[in-house]
Structure 1
Amino acid sequence: MRIRIRHEITQRFEPGTRNMAVTVRLTPRAHEGQFIIRWALDLTSDCRLHPQEDAFGNVCHTFSVDGPADHLTVVAEGEVETQDTTGIVRGTVERFPPSLFLRQTDLTEPTAAVIELAESLDAPASDPLARLHQLMIALHERIEEQPGPAMGDPLSADAALKAAKACAGGIAHVYTAAARHLGLPARHISGYVAPEGGEEGEGEARHWAEAHVPKIGWISFDPGRNLCGTENYVRLAVGLDAVGVQPLRSTGLDVEERVSALDGRAPQRASQAQSQTQS
């Protein structure tokens, strides 16, 4: 599937701001099932972008703005060719072993409510793939997804679980927190999702999770939608939580976003399935 994306972010700064250092994570990388045809960043400010990679291998661009300025607009635009890999993620830049993604953060702290949820799963520990699917289904049934800051600051795992409603990023925090508590490496992903059915229309910026299964590798899980990633998904950045995948980090206060993901002709889809090789 060929997906055309345009993501516009406007960030408004405190009055009188004169000097700003900004980091942008809005450039996807190619991997198995995802090929970047073209991609470009455009800024309203006259400055030079400095490309680099962060600790997790995400493509970042940094720049500074000499004020005074009251706002900054960043536009990411391009085309990505995707194929359905039944949720399995291969060929990505991996700087760390999967065990690093057992590390919890303030947003994924395994509180009593999170632990209770994780330990309520009845799939055997010897079948991590079944446990991860069961966790996805449990969260989809327990937490109502609501509109929220697609690329902003979603709820912590504990807050999302107690509220029983959260944006996709908050639900992803619950998923990673519970999976890590069970000893299953999990990480936070940002990206885009095109409309279903091969139709043109508004897509969305979205957060989901990936979990690591021995002998398979990383698999994407979107508990808000109760499915593993399809060819409609474009993977953007990876981190321990939503803070690590923020698309724009600076001294600004208010953020406005507009995202459109328009897909072209979609090839025949593969079925949603993963398999685990037992020794």
Structure 2
Amino acid sequence: MKLRISHETAYAYDHPIRNLVQSLRLTPSVFEGQRVQEWRIEVSGGIRGAAFRDGAGDWIEGWTVRGPTEQVSVRITGHIETRDTAGVLRGHRETVHPLTYLRDTRATKADAALKALAASVDAATDALDLAHKLSSTVAGAIAYRPGVTEMHTTAAEALALGEGVCQDHAHALIALARLRDLPARYVSGYLHSTVDGQPHDAAHAWAEIHVVGLGWVGFDAANGCCPDDRYVRLGSGLDASDAAPIRGVATGTTAGAGAERLDVAVQVEEIGQ
């Protein structure tokens, strides 16, 4: 599938900031399931700094914006070709050992309810079968409903609520997998979720579970499937915060502390062969 992606993140500040330093994980992963044809990252007033591929195989770019400024925008435009690998992350180079992803974070730390849910999953024929069953269990326990959770909601809180968004499904699945001794991590990216050819909001997240002998396999509990050619993978981490596409620090304002406002627009559309 050939996809056109447009992603803009706009920051507005009550008072002009003096300096902004950002770390961007906004370049598609390199593996057999996707091939970049064109990709551009632009930061308004930004100066591109060092760039490198980290141990997880993600491409990281540093950017600096020198103020004073009240607005900063990060814009990504690109074309990418994808193909279905049944969720398996084939050909992805990384050096971090899979067992690193057994470590809990605040967002994925299991409470009694998550432990009981993990224990309720029937014995599986193998690790891959167990991963599929854990994903189905999360899908049944947390209904998809936008707006009921926020970015700092934990897996335990989402399970107690019984509702959430893709971030919550990913965190809960990661928690359950780790409880069953399967390394798991959070993945950020895009999803082409319509077939009408029209642009649509498409930022997305899912989980990857490591299966010995097969490697990392993606599971999207929110949609009850493994990632296919509709998905574009950007990067991964222990949780949503660790895998954030944009991380940054504003180092000062010209008139004391002020609020930051954030607007995000993401569109993905299929283009002709």
TM-score normalised per structure 2: 0.90
Distance, in Å, in 2 between the alignment partners of 1:118 and 1:240 is 19
Moved more, 18-27 or 183-192: 18-27
Structure 1 segments unaligned to the other structure (5+ residues): 267-279
Distance, in Å, in 1 between the alignment partners of 2:264 and 2:25 is 14
Q: Which residue of 2 aligns with 1:260?
A: 267
Q: Which residue of 2 aligns with 1:128?
A: 127
Distance, in Å, in 1 between the alignment partners of 2:197 and 2:18 is 44
Q: Which residue of 2 aligns with 1:178?
A: 176
Moved more, 184-193 or 37-46: 37-46
For residues 188-203 of structure 1, the aligned pairs below 5 Å read: 188-197=186-195, 199-203=197-201
Preserved CA contact (<8 Å) 1:16 1:70: yes
Distance, in Å, in 2 between the alignment partners of 1:76 and 1:245 is 17
Q: Which residue of 2 aligns with 1:103?
A: 103
Say which SS state the counterpart of residue 215 (structure 1) adopts: coil
Distance, in Å, in 2 between the alignment partners of 1:203 and 1:265 is 20
Residue number among 239, 245, 250 corresponding to 1:247 in the alignment:
245
Q: Which residue of 1 aligns with 2:255?
A: none
Q: Deviations over 1:60-116 (max 9, x none)?
A: 111222211122101011011111111111111222121111111111101111111
C-alpha RMSD over aligned residues: 2.1
Distance, in Å, in 2 between the alignment partners of 1:135 and 1:14 is 45
Distance, in Å, in 1 between the alignment partners of 2:16 and 2:80 is 39
Distance, in Å, in 1 between the alignment partners of 2:36 and 2:148 is 25
Distance, in Å, in 2 between the alignment partners of 1:104 and 1:58 is 21
Moved more, 242-251 or 204-213: 242-251
Preserved CA contact (<8 Å) 1:140 1:226: yes
Preserved CA contact (<8 Å) 1:142 1:164: yes
Q: How many pairs align?
A: 264
Preserved CA contact (<8 Å) 2:55 2:94: no
Cα–Cα, structure 1 residues 71 and 51, in superposed 2: closer, same or farther, change >3 Å? same
Greater share of strand residues, 1 or 2? 2
Q: Which residue of 2 aligns with 1:269?
A: none
For residues 1-279 of structure 1, the aligned pairs below 5 Å read: 1-13=1-13, 15-124=15-124, 127-147=126-146, 153-197=151-195, 199-251=197-249, 253-265=260-272
2:35 alignment partner AA = F
1:245 alignment partner AA = A
> Could you tell me the percent identity over the aligned residues?
33
Structure 2 segments unaligned to the other structure (5+ residues): 251-259
TM-score normalised per structure 1: 0.88
Deviating runs (4+, > 6 A) in structure 1?
A: none
Preserved CA contact (<8 Å) 1:11 1:72: yes
Say which SS state the counterpart of residue 254 (structure 1) adopts: strand
Distance, in Å, in 2 between the alignment partners of 1:198 and 1:186 is 33
